[in-house]
Amino acid sequence: MTDVIIVGSGMAGLSAALYTARYELSTLVIGAELGGATSTAWTIENYPGFKAIDGYDLIIKVKEQVEALGAKVVADKIQKITKSDGGFKLTGEAGEEYLAKSVIFTHGAARRK
């Protein structure tokens, strides 16, 4: 059982993972699309530490930092969450099951088409 599962692999989810992993909580980030809206940005000029950076490059750097702290990032889309003994059971799109003591939602928003 994982201490924390973060649903959403955009900047908010990866940022949350930085904190949970630093506190030595076993952390799993699950998201359908790595980086979310940030990864499609051409140039980001207002992120601390970078004068300008491509959105995808920024997401890759943050993902590498998260993984270096011991968190895992998985590509999946959560379809169902149920309460289980001492935590939660999350079911992915292909039927994969994940167990966690706690869940953080950072699933963001989708642009209108």
pLDDT tens digits, residue range 35-46?
Answer: 988 888 889 998
Give the number of C-alpha atoms closer than 13 A to the C-alpha of residue 88, restricted to the C-beta side. 17
Contacts of 21 (CB under 8 A, 6+ apart): 27, 66, 69, 70, 71
Q: Residue 37 region, left (φ>0) first, then alpha (ψ -120 to 50), else beta?
A: alpha
State both tokens at 111. Answer: 């642009």
Q: With a threshold of 0.95, does the pTM exceed it?
A: no
Q: What is the tens place of the pLDDT at every residue in 67-83?
A: 999 999 999 999 999 99
Question: What letter would DSSP give residue 73?
Answer: E
